[in-house]
Amino acid sequence: MNWLTQRKFLAVCLGTVLVSVGVGAQKTMQTNSAGSPTTRRTATANNAVTDTAPIKWLGSKSAPITMEFFSDFECPACRAMFLETLPHLIENYVNTGKLYFVDRYFPLQGHKYSRLATRYADAAARIGKFEPAARALFNRQETWASTANGNGDVDGVVASVLTPAEMAKVRELVRNEPGKLDADIDKDVQLGSGIEYRVMQTPTTLITYKGQTTPIIGYVSYPILKQYLDELLKR
């Protein structure tokens, strides 16, 4: 075998090995089981996740897909996902029993009013008003968020969607029991900080199906998410 032929032979061998690496990476991803140490830190065989606050989950726990949404109220991409993607997701996947949705707080330290906004949202959640409060905070993000040079008037934004009696309860919790609210928030933050894939930015969405968890970093539109979820459900 002359030198050129040897070189080609080695090149083909190397190419085969490396393409196998790529295929192997895909296979590893697809066949990872619930028992593997590289998958969920809290999931059981049916994708059950830790519930830090049942009032922030939607759908049936027996749904085949679980989606955890780590978000920050000051985050513009979180806003886009909450207002544009999640409504369709809830209508077409949560309400039809295909997906179990869990909202997770993840206020980023660099966002000045994020922790305060999260406290208000959690206080509203404790009186059963999480959704309207969260929607108001995201809808009017540009008025209060530091990321939009807002004025920090989280109280005014939440008050605009609650009754005076409800708002009084929320204010009572925020002003007199912030520790209780922070405990709720910190549970979610710790969950996001202690998993195989650490949450480093928001939004981070973790989709778990048959024991395998896929991280999605950043905003993803409903059509793209839909295609992926439909592919999962066909497996």
Partner 1 sequence: MASTVPWRLPRILLLAGRIILGLILVYAAYAKLKYPWITFAATVSAYQLLPDNAVIFVARTVPWLELVLGVWLLTGLALRWSAAAGTALLGVFFAILVHSYAKGMQIECGCFGPGGDPLTWKRLVLEVALLALGIAVTIGAFARRRAAA
Q: How far is the CB of 206 from partner 1 (least distance, A)?
A: 11
Q: Which is nearer to partner 1, 29 or 45 (CB)?
A: 29
Residue 202's nearest CA partner among 101, 79, 87 is 79
Distances (CA, A) of 114 to 119, 120, 124, 154, 161: 9, 10, 15, 9, 19
Verify binding: residue 223, partner 1, rule CB under 8 A.
yes
Query: Per rule CB under 8 A, is residue 195 in the interface with partner 1?
Result: no
Near partner 1 by CB under 8 A: residue from 187, 201, 210, 211: 201
- The span from the CA of 32 to the CA of 211, in Å, is 8
Cα(157)–Cα(41) distance, integer angstroms: 36
Whats the size of the chain, residue-wise?
Answer: 235
41 contacts partner 1 (rule: CB under 8 A): no
Run of H or E including 76: helix 76-80
Return the range that interacts with partner 1 (CB under 8 A); candidates 43-51, 65-73, 97-105, 194-202: 194-202
Pick the closer one to partner 1 by CB: 136 or 213: 213
Q: Which residue has the tokens 């991280």?
A: 215
Question: Kind and range of the H or E element at 69?
Answer: strand 65-71
Tell which one of 6, 28, 33, 42 touches partner 1 (CB under 8 A): 28
Q: Counting contacts by CB under 8 A, is residue 139 touching partner 1?
A: no
Q: Which residues bind partner 1 (CB under 8 A)?
A: 7-8, 11-12, 14-15, 18-19, 21-22, 25-26, 28-29, 77, 197-198, 200-201, 207, 214-221, 223-225, 227-228
